[in-house]
Structure 1
């Protein structure tokens, strides 16, 4: 029995190597370059859709239902996280083109629904649709890697991520301008335009041959039979339960609530059941066993989770910190965020270039993570009087995030069989979304835990100086309220006390954010330690093309193999 299993395992490895053959002659021309651009725009859709999260405060202020504010961001992430790997697995079998096109069209619909909403729940419904759209659009990166020779994949990924980062800068600045000069709704309409552009470009310029798994099967029925239906149900249901619990916990319901505990337990049990099922009951499920041929795959998934905590968590929380400590002007908030976003964007291409030239990535990744850990840690000493420090430190750790944006995704793509790029790529991006959601939840909990006690202490000291310590509880409640006029409505407050109260609030806010950045720094440092165990992928950086777009014998052969 053991010998049979060993023989089967050996057969799978040989099969994978056969599918990684290098073409004798293949030249990349404008067809491939334009297709990479089109697919990069699709990846950009998922990035720019998150820029509306920087103006959630203004959406809720306009429509009400502030208790639902967290769902505006998490509805998108939840659906992307749950369905991304599912669509990725299906795309490896049936092809990626029409998944991306249909997803882009759905993104247009979802963005218009959110932009035209008259109630916050409708915005959330629109974001659910765009989350589903992003589940397909994130396949732009693995699709671009498929049409690129392995040795040039770092270039393709660097370009895709740089374009997405530039879109984030544009979307963030535009969102602030829309809020200040017109309405936040135009931010969603801008997203709709980008989704529409993605659908048009991919339809016109991306014409791949059937995927390898399709070429190996004689009938569509065989591919449908291989779909991991039970795994899909277990995975999506478990992830949904966990994210719902993390979103509701501490806000809508206390963490001790039976609803939160029950949802968390259900999600954890479901993930355990999913893991056991994937391990023992199927070898070609969502977590196809062939992706675990090296230890890189599980390690890089962990790296992506922590990277999501850094990237997505910082995008949301840093904007909130700027509003708390420096300015509530939407354009000025976007301006403060720009140095971080700019260095993160323009560092993507150099990161890809270095990996392509050296065929090495581990040292660069570890150094980048340690760099991020250093400067996110230094963000802990930023105070309301140190805005220039926030500019400098955020710009510096943005350089590190450029590396962590490009390198793990590329290394993971070179660590798994090329015919599973859709599955592996969407799982890695889903892990980033999971990391972002978990990070936002954890870091927000840290802030909320600190701000309550810190405000009580600082405000109490300020009011004690004027002999009105008894007003401390009412003043703290007003400062924690989402109503900007709540403090003026506290009975017994005098205008001449306001400067001391606001100063006390600023001290408490800076104190609370300090612990958030310390937590981020520690988590990123742990990620650097884990990354030291990654293996080289230099031997995979060859001329293999998984999906040939150029007219060649290779392309003819890939079409001819389809049955």
Structure 2
């Protein structure tokens, strides 16, 4: 297909909507208000409320740092992977569906009802007396998060394009502060009371989100809602086939990734079957969206430039970095430095803090320069460098862990903020719900893939290094016959298990504990090397991104301030002339 034909097809896609969009030099130029739109208190309060809603998903993930304590309290350790993934699988499968619907029906009630659903789930998990009950509660939390993450695209809609980087920087800064606070609070709850209060803190946050969004977010009908005023018409254009294919495929993949290598071997039918179904389903979904439905979940108008597909891949790999580092680093701290929940949170704090305080400057730089590619590529290579140096950690280098992780956090502040802003400036503003939730889903999927991949690397290295190290202690002492029993005890969650191994000389216990620590140091080294390589590949991919400076204008998608633009958006109905001034 020739380039001219590609361009004609893209322009034809934009003409399917009565909303005026002009492709100019490969970018989208959207209509601007005749008078400069002014952001005032109404918008600021709405952005705070919407950012608070988005923070619900971020805060819910901090409870994952207490998973081993939840299992220790309630049992059923074989279900531990589902304590986190039950939340992720529901969010991943449902969020893009909610995003697609919210572009047509509006985002407010998805946010409010999602917050209420998350509050219910947090109460169920916090009051649970069985691990399975926590998993059920976390499924409700995942459903709530699928609505709450709409806070990011909604906040971008109520902000003029030129100010979107500032808004995103604030939202991510706010979320990072919540993550730092939530991580420290979760550690304190575990140490001084119970993991249950980490869930109860989430319940309070969800409840406050519902109240704030209801009180301060009053948007006009969406562009697509104004074009199709009748709900019957909207219902007739819902991508039902795409919803079923996408949700089912994602759920199948995550089930396989959660079970594989942990609950069941990768070769087991219970892993192979959902993995195969999920992979085939996603391929079928891609073909259907490409050939069968132009305004579905993967609306063709989002692909008017190459930025959207590239940034989705960037988000997947960035999710491997963000969630992978959060989980693997916290596990490494517990393995090498301390088992105290508060101290673990303290070691994580420099990384989380620099990630938090770097978000706002990253947004400010993009807003002032109207440029982002160099900043993003540089940040990714920076992250690759410092994640690679994290491989040098051992039990005697805690200061190195503090230094390297805090420098890594500076880079992740940029990679957390910039790709999302670039993405929402690369697609039509009336599709921000679908585009934004897809990016979040890709980031979460990347996190699950990353955790699965990095855990597999860790386990594979431990499977060979731990027996070798244990035998090097037991062999010279004439106790080689105890190798398997000792390895089983070292893998146990019970701290006294090693001392209960029959006939094991007590003087060998410190040496065996050191052997286990050395095996962990060796194994985590390869995890960090893998993370570094993935991030470097992401940096190379980001070099292909296109500029968005022509889109950083005064266009306002959802006007909250009293203005001519808001009046127009509140009153426009099908059949009227919707043409506005374009640049």
Taking structure 2 as the reference length, what is the TM-score of the superposition?
0.95
Instruction: Tell me how large the CA RMSD over aligned residues is.
Output: 1.4
How far did residue 289 of structure 1 move? 0.4
Question: Whole-Å Cα distance in 2 between the matches of residues 67 and 542 of structure 1?
Answer: 53
Please identify runs of 4+ aligned residues in structure 1 that moved more than 4 A: 2-7, 12-16
CA contact (8 A) 1:344 1:402 kept: yes
* Post-superposition offset of 1:15: 4.2
Match of 1:134 in 2: 145
Consecutive unaligned residues in structure 2, runs of 5 or more: 23-28, 575-583
1:341 is aligned to 2:345: no
For 1:140 and 1:511, the matched residues in 2 are separated by: 41
TM superposition shift of 1:483: 2.6
Q: Residue 23 in 1 paired to residue 33 in 2?
A: yes
- Superposition deviation, residue 24 in structure 1: 2.2
* CA distance in 1 between partners of 2:20 and 2:252 (Å): 36
- Alignment check: 8 A CA contact 1:162 1:345 kept: yes
Which residue pairs with 2:518 in the alignment?
507
Q: After superposition, give the CA deviation of every residue in 1:155-203 in whole Å (9 maximum; x if it has no partner).
A: 0001001101000000000000001111110000000011011100000
Q: What residue number does 1:252 align with?
A: 263
Match of 2:430 among 414, 419, 429: 419
- 1:392 aligns with 403
Look up the match of 1:8: 12
Contact 2:390 2:528 in 1 (8 A): yes
- Quote how far apart the aligned CAs of 1:465 are: 2.5
Residue 351 (structure 1) aligned with residue 362 (structure 2)? yes
* Counterpart check, 1:219 vs 2:230: yes
Offset, 1:105: 0.5
C-alpha distance 6-195 of structure 1, shift in aligned 2 (>3 A): closer
Q: Could you tell me how far 1:411 is from its partner in structure 2?
A: 0.2
Kindly indicate whether residue 105 of structure 2 is the aligned counterpart of residue 94 of structure 1: yes
Query: Are the counterparts in 1 of residues 119 and 202 from structure 2 also a CA contact under 8 Å?
Result: yes
Paired residues of 2:90 and 2:142 also in contact (CA < 8 A):
yes
Q: Is the 8 A contact 1:210 1:562 kept in 2?
A: no
1:361 aligns with 2:365: no
Q: Distance in 1 between matches of 2:11 and 2:377?
A: 37
1:113 aligns with 2:128: no
Does 2:66 correspond to 1:47?
Answer: no
Q: Report what 1:201 is aligned to.
A: 212
- Cα distance in 2 between the residues matched to 1:481 and 1:48: 29
Structure 2 contact 10–301 (Cα < 8 Å) conserved: no
Residues 438-482 of structure 1, C-alpha deviations (whole Å, 9 max, x = no match): 100000010000112111111111112212222222111211122
The whole-number CA distance in structure 1 between the counterparts of 2:462 and 2:242 is 42
* Deviation for aligned residue 1:6: 7.9
Offset of 1:7 from its aligned partner? Answer: 7.4
Q: How far apart, in 1, do the equivalents of 2:12 and 2:455 lie?
A: 48
SS of the equivalent of 2:531 reads helix
Please state how far the C-alpha of 1:5 moved relative to its aligned partner: 6.2
Kindly indicate whether residue 287 of structure 2 is the aligned counterpart of residue 276 of structure 1. yes
> Residues 155 and 391 from structure 1, CA distance in 2 versus in 1: closer, same or farther, beyond 3 angstroms?
same
Contact 2:347 2:402 in 1 (8 A): yes
Task: Identify the residue that residue 432 of structure 1 maps to in structure 2.
Answer: 443
Seen in structure 2, the aligned counterparts of structure 1 residues 505 and 97 have a Cα distance that, compared at 3 Å, is same
**Segment drifting more, 284-293 vs 7-16:** 7-16
Quote the Cα distance in structure 2 between the aligned partners of 1:242 and 1:334. Answer: 31
Residue 106 of structure 1 contacts residue 133 of structure 1 at CA under 8 Å; is this kept in 2?
yes
Taking a change above 3 Å as real, the CA distance of residues 46 and 7 of structure 1, as seen in their structure-2 partners, is closer
Q: Distance in 2 between matches of 1:55 and 1:537?
A: 41
**Equivalents in 1 of 2:138, 2:454: separation in Å?**
23
**Deviation, structure 1 residue 16:** 4.4
Distance 2:136 2:106 in 1: 28
Q: Give the distance between the partners of 1:370 and 1:13, measured in 2 at CA.
A: 40
Mapping of residues 56-71 of structure 1, within 5 Å: 56-71=67-82
TM-score (norm 1): 0.98
Paired residue for 1:557? Answer: 568
